[in-house]
């Protein structure tokens, strides 16, 4: 590193500075802009979506097959790696809107702007009926945002079950507990929401069906107990 802060290789060639890059299939940028990462993922998935159209036309695929492939391929590609991020309500809704556009196109349904009866819930219900028509089949076409919350919960359970020497656990929780590591005061303007609090809140209120999670020690102990018991 030179006095001006620039970095050079041993032969004197300067190291190029990059605003963003791809690592293990996910984008890393200097501002940690989650919104930008989601938009890039959607753009990539649209390319996959277009390729599937060609396949379906060539094979004359049924709506059932299209729905199953769409739910498996598009969902997997879009949500890959996102379980490590906390999405605001607006970001989560953006995932569902993207999903609904694909489902409506497969079903051949108009938007609610044109036909008020084609509500979002009706789209999911009809897609489930077509994709899994057998009686007793409990599988459903779920919202992408619901899958994202469940994957966050599974990751949190994995971290809590890890031993105290695990680096991921060390930077997240205090030893042998579900108490967050204290990092000091946040800078002004820092978002109040964070991954650990919101994921624990989801587990406590939606999985354990309890009310008003506020990160109390007793509540965190219950979350830890359920994680050890592999309830999520």
Distance between CA 24 and CA 75 in Å, rounded?
Answer: 17
Query: Could you report the per-residue pLDDT of 155-193, keeping only the tens digit for each?
Result: 999 999 999 999 999 999 999 999 999 877 766 665 566
Is the confidence at residue 61, as pLDDT, over 80?
Answer: yes
Q: Report the C-alpha dihedral over residues 178, 183, 185, 188, rounded to 10 degrees.
A: -100
Only one residue has tokens 């590193």, namely 1
Binned at pLDDT 50, 70 and 90, residue 40 comes out as confident
| Contact call for residues 62 and 106 (beta carbons, < 8 A) | no
DSSP string, 51-79: HHHHHHHHHT--HHHHHHHIIIIIHHHHH
Q: What is the spatial distance between Cα 101 and Cα 137, in angstroms, rounded to a whole number?
A: 25
- Return the higher-pLDDT residue of 119 and 36: 119
> How does the average pLDDT of the chain come out, rounded?
86
Task: For residue range 202-213, list pLDDT tens digits in order.
Answer: 999 999 999 899
* Every domain of the chain and the residues it spans: 34-142, 146-228
Which pLDDT score is estimated for 111?
85
Tokens, residue 12: 């004197």
At residue 18, does pLDDT exceed 70?
no
d(C-alpha 93, C-alpha 127), whole Å: 19
With 0-12 / 13-18 / 19 or more C-beta atoms within 10 angstroms meaning exposed / middle / buried, residue 204 is: buried
Backbone angles phi, psi at 51, to 5 degrees: -65, -35
Q: What is the pLDDT of residue 11?
A: 76
In the chain, % of residues over pLDDT 70 = 84
Instruction: Quickly state the pLDDT bin for 144 (edges 50, 70, 90).
Output: very high
Mean pLDDT score, 5-33:
64
Least confident of 3-7, 61-65, 93-97, 107-111: 3-7
What's the mean pLDDT in 107-116?
A: 88
Q: What pTM was computed for the model?
A: 0.81
Q: Give the C-alpha separation, 103 to 112, whole Å.
A: 13
pLDDT at 148 exceeding the cut of 60: yes
CA distance linking residue 36 with residue 30, whole number of Å: 11
pLDDT for 55: 83
Q: What percent of the chain has pLDDT over 90?
A: 57
> Read out DSSP for 142-188?
--HHHHHHHHHHHHHHHHHHS-TT-HHHHTTB-TTS-PBPP--PPPT
């Amino acid at each position: 590193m030179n006095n001006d802060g620039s970095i050079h290789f041993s032969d004197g060639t300067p190291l190029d500075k990059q605003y963003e890059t791809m690592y293990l299939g996910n984008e890393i940028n200097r501002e940690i802009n989650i919104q930008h990462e989601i938009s890039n993922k959607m753009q990539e998935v649209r390319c996959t979506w277009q390729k599937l159209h060609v396949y379906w036309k060539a094979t004359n695929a049924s709506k059932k097959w299209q729905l199953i492939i769409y739910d498996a391929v598009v969902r997997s590609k879009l949500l890959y790696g996102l379980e490590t991020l906390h999405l605001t309500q607006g970001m989560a809704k953006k995932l569902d809107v993207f999903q609904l556009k694909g489902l409506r196109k497969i079903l051949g349904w108009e938007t609610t702007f044109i036909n008020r009866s084609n509500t979002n819930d009706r789209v999911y219900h009809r897609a489930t009926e077509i994709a899994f028509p057998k009686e007793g089949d409990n599988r459903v076409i779920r919202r992408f945002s619901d899958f994202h919350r469940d994957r966050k919960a599974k990751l949190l359970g994995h971290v809590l079950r890890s031993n105290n020497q695990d680096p991921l656990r060390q930077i997240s929780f205090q030893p042998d507990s579900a108490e967050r590591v204290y990092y000091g005061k946040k800078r002004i303007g820092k978002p109040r929401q964070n991954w650990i609090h919101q994921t624990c809140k989801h587990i406590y209120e939606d999985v354990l069906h309890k009310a008003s999670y506020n990160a109390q020690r007793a509540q965190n102990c219950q979350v830890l107990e359920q994680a050890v018991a592999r309830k999520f």
